[in-house]
Amino acid sequence: MTYCVGIRLNAGLVFLSDSRTNAGLDAISTFRKMMIYEKPGERFMVMLSAGNLSISQSVREILQVEKIDGGEGQEPISIWNATSMFDATRVLGSAVRRVYETDGPAFKAAGVDFNASMIFGGQIKGEAMRMFLVYSAGNFIEATRETCFFQIGESKYGKPILDRVLTPSTPLDEAAKCALVSMDSTLKSNLSVGLPLDLLVYEEGKLQSDRVVCVDEHNPYFTMIRSTWGQRLREVFEGIDDPQWDGGQAQHPLMMGSKRFEAMRKITKPSERIV
């Protein structure tokens, strides 16, 4: 399994992925889930992938040469000449469908699901930043102000902190910190997600990025995140009052005098039955 998160903000984009791939308890490997496609000063695109590794690796290779119809009298569209991130994402969707056409029947015969999903985002000169979530069928949805992040893979453990912290106006460094905390929560609760991590921060309008880092178990900042986040969570938890049962005396009582929420009890005598 894996965990990847992509965040679209007013100030830029943040991408984070783990690198663990497992095909059983004793078949654990490390593969990068992040790919960068760029022409500095013209276009900058990042793809994160989750699901069946053979599918995502095939999609990566095909995406670099895949072309779709550009319309009557127009040259075919690839990720290298697309004038919008929407068209570039259409090319990615076509690459996914091409892999399905080639390998789908064999997957079905072997009883294996065709399972892959991608986060694809970036910026092409002359257009605003955009980010998309691409499904196994090659269709996709776009991030909006109301939904400014996408997750793929083991998403449930790291989602609460993203929901509570992220807004479109969140600064890039704060969003990177939030993504790392989200990843730490996932690492803590799921062994199928593992180090090293790939983190990329893209600043709006730059059309390139030098803020790319591979985070392993020796990274000082991530080590600090892991220890500090756990410690502060315990401190906040201990600072919350324990349940208070005395409704007449407690400031925040847990048990109130209401029959509406009275606990169900087993009826033991015929006379107690309601007719």
pLDDT tens for 110-146 read 999 999 999 999 999 999 999 999 999 999 999 999 9
pLDDT at 262 over 70: no
Closest CA to 51 of 128, 130, 137, 126: 137
* Residue 263 pLDDT: 66
**Mean pLDDT score of the chain:** 92
The answer to whether residues 129 and 118 touch, using CB atoms and an 8 Å cutoff, is no
* Residue 258 pLDDT: 67
Euclidean distance between CA atoms 92 and 132, whole angstroms: 10
Amino acid at 60: R
* Residue 246 pLDDT: 72
pLDDT tens for 159-191 read 999 999 999 999 999 999 999 999 999 999 998
pLDDT at 260 over 70: no
pLDDT at 67 over 80: yes
* Residue 245 pLDDT: 78
**68 confidence band (pLDDT: 50, 70, 90):** very high
Cβ-based neighbour number of residue 220 at 10 Å: 7
Euclidean distance between CA atoms 118 and 50, whole angstroms: 6
pLDDT at 218 over 70: yes
* Residue 63 pLDDT: 97
Q: What is the DSSP string of 138-180?
A: S-EEE--SSS-EEEEES-TTTHHHHHHH--TT--HHHHHHHHH
pLDDT at 49 over 70: yes
Pick 3-233's CATH classification: 3.60.20.10, 3.90.78.10, 3.30.300.210, 3.30.465.10.
Answer: 3.60.20.10
* Residue 64 pLDDT: 94
* Residue 275 pLDDT: 52
32: which residues sit within 8 A by CB, 6+ positions away? Answer: 17, 19, 198
Radius of gyration of the CA atoms of the chain, in A: 24
The answer to whether residues 51 and 136 touch, using CB atoms and an 8 Å cutoff, is yes
